[in-house]
Chains A and B, each alone.
Chain A
C-alpha cells in the first residue's frame, strides 16, 4: 500500500457561536480514502465541526485545508468548484420538503452538470435504486418514513459521485438491520468512488464496522482528547472516557462485543 495522502487538514481550529465557545485547538489530519469518524458525547460539537468543514460557518480561529487549500479564503468560483466534489447528509434530514425525491436528487445534477432531463432521470432512478428507494421518485419527503428519508438524503449526497462524503448521524433512528445495510452502502460508496468519508455517529457497531480513523471531541475540556483508529483506541486510549465510550460504559478490561 502506498503512502497515505493527507486530504483534509484541520489546523488549530477554534469554533464558537458568538461568545459561546464550542471546541478549541482542534488539529488533525484526515487521509484520502479514510472512513473518518467524529465521536463524542451529545452536544460536544460534532455537528458544529461538520458544518465548519462544509463551509457553513467560518472558523473563529484556525483553518480547514483541503489538499492545502482553504475553503474560506477561496473566491466564490473556487468555492463552487470545491463544493461540487462534496456530498452531504444532514442530521435532521435536509431534504427539500417542497420537492419530490426525484427532484431532490436531481437538483445537484441540474446545478453542476449540463445533462439533459432524460439523462438526469436515469441517474436519479439509479441513485434511488442504490439506496433501496427505486420507484419512490414521485414521493414527497413527508410521505416516507424517517429511515427512508435518511436514505433519500444519501441518494442526493451521492448524486454527483463526490470525492468527499459528509454524513451527520446517518444511522440514528434506524433499526439494526437497516443501519447495517447503510454501513455497507457507505463502505461500497467509499470503495467504488475512492471517496474520503467523514461521519458523525454514536453507533458503536457502525464505528467498529467501518471506521479506519477517528477523533474524539470532549465537551468538558472543549477540545479533542484522542485521535486514531477506534479499534485501537478502545484498548489503548490513555483516556478512560474514550475507552468507556467505545466499550459503552462497561469496564475497559471487559471483553467488548
Chain B
C-alpha cells in the first residue's frame, strides 16, 4: 500500500485552475476553505476549473471542501467547473447543491444611535410589561368566569394539580423550612448572646418565619418546582400542537389549562406556608435548646410574640406569591416556541421571572405593611 500523501491544493493560472493533490480523507489534516477563499479574493478569476490528476484517496472531506468552494463561487459569480472531478465526488456535490442553502432573513444590526435611543428601549420594556399585564388581565377574567361557574375547566385537573403542588412538595418544604428556622436561630443567637438576651431568639425565629421566611422560602421552592413544571407541561403541549387543538375546539386555553394550575397553587400555598412555619419554628427551637434556651422557655416566649398580624401578613403574601408563580410559569409555557429546546428555555424563564416577581412583590408588601403599621 502506498504511503499516504498529504492533501494539498494550489491555485494556478491566475486562479483559473484549482489543483488538488494527495489523500483527502478525514484522518488527514485537510486544508480548510478559508485559505482558498483568501487567495480567490485576491485574484478574482472569472471561472475556475479543477485538476485532480494528483488526487489520491478521498472521502467526505473532499466534497465538504468543494461545497464551500461551490457556494463561494455561486455567491460571487464565479463559474465553477466540476467536470474534471472524480465521478463520485461530482455527483455527491451535485446532490449537496440540488437544494439551495437556506438564507435566514437578514436582521439589520442595530445602529449605535438606535441602541442608545432611550425612548426605543423604554418602548420595548413597556411592551414586555404590557404583555404581562395582558396575561394577568386575561387570567383575572377567566377567574371571574370560574367563580360565576361558567368556565371551561375540568374538575379532575384541579385535583391532579393540587396533588402535584401539595402533598408531593411536602418533603422538600419540610427540609428547607427546618433549615431556614435553624439558620435564623443561629444568626440571632450569635448577636443576642452579646447582650445576654438569648431568650429573644424565640422572637426572632417566630416573627422571621411567620412574616417573611416561611412565605418566601416556600415560594422559592415552588417556583423551582411547580412553576417550572407548569412551563414545561404547557410548553410541551405547545410543541405537540395540543394547544392549537384546544383553541380550534373553541376552548379558551386560559380557562382550560391555566386556571386549574393557578387555582391549585393559590389554594395550596397558604397551607404549605402554615406547615413551613411550624417546621421552621421547631427547627429554631432545637438550635435554641443547644444555646441554653429550654423548649419550655422558647415556647413561652413564642406564645408571647405570636399574633394574628404576623401570621396574616405571611399568609396574605403566600396567596399572592402562588398567583405570581402560576402566572410566570403558565405564561412562559403558553408562549413557548415549537421545539424541545424552547421547552427548556420556557422552564428557565418561568423560574427567573417568578423569582424576580417574588422579590419585587415581597419588597412592596413590606413597604405597605410598614406604612400601615401592621
Task: Give A residues with C-beta under 8 Å from B.
Answer: 19-21, 51, 54-56, 79-80, 83-84, 86, 88, 90-98, 107-108, 111-112, 156, 220
Contact = CB atoms under 8 A, between A and B. Distances in A.
Nearest to A168: B241
A20 B105 contact: yes
Interface stretch (B129-137, B246-254, B312-320, B351-359): B246-254
Contacts of B245: 88, 90, 94-96, 156
Nearest to B251: A111
Interface in B134-155: 152
A83 B252 CA distance: 13
A88 B245 CA distance: 8
B240 A93 contact: yes
Interface string B88-104: 00000000000010000
Given A19-B105, A111-B152, A92 B250 contact: no
B249 A83 contact: yes
Given A92-B239, A111-B152, A84 B244 contact: no
21 contacts: A20-B105, A51-B244, A54-B248, A55-B248, A56-B248, A83-B248, A88-B248, A90-B244, A90-B245, A92-B239, A93-B241, A94-B242, A95-B240, A96-B242, A96-B245, A98-B160, A107-B249, A108-B249, A111-B250, A156-B245, A220-B100
Contacts of A220: 100
B248 A86 contact: yes
Interface of B: 100, 105, 152, 157, 160, 236-237, 239-242, 244-251
Given A20-B105, A111-B152, A91 B241 contact: yes
A184 to B, nearest CB: 24
Contacts of A94: 240-242, 244-245
Contacts of A80: 250
The 10 closest A-B pairs by CB, nearest first: A90-B241, A94-B241, A94-B245, A80-B250, A83-B250, A92-B241, A20-B105, A92-B240, A54-B248, A88-B248
A12 B247 CA distance: 25
A71 to B, nearest CB: 11
B248 to A, nearest CB: 5
Contacts, number: 56
Nearest to A89: B245
Contacts of B152: 111
A229 to B, nearest CB: 28
A83 B245 CA distance: 11
- Pick the most buried of B100, B236, B244: most chain A CB atoms within 10 A of its CB: B244
Contact of A97 (B160, B240, B249): B240
A56 B244 CA distance: 7
Contacts of B100: 220
Nearest to A87: B248
A15 B246 CA distance: 22
A89 to B, nearest CB: 9
Contacts of B250: 79-80, 83-84, 111-112
Contacts of A112: 250
A55 B244 CA distance: 10
A97 B105 contact: no
A65 B157 CA distance: 37
- Pick the most buried of B105, B242, B246: most chain A CB atoms within 10 A of its CB: B242
Given A94-B240, A94-B245, A95-B242, 4 more contacts: A54-B248, A94-B241, A98-B157, A111-B249
Nearest to A86: B248
Contacts of A111: 152, 249-251
A56 B241 CA distance: 11
Contacts of B237: 96-97
Contacts of A107: 249, 251
A84 B250 CA distance: 8
Contacts of A92: 239-241
Contacts of A108: 249
A158 to B, nearest CB: 13
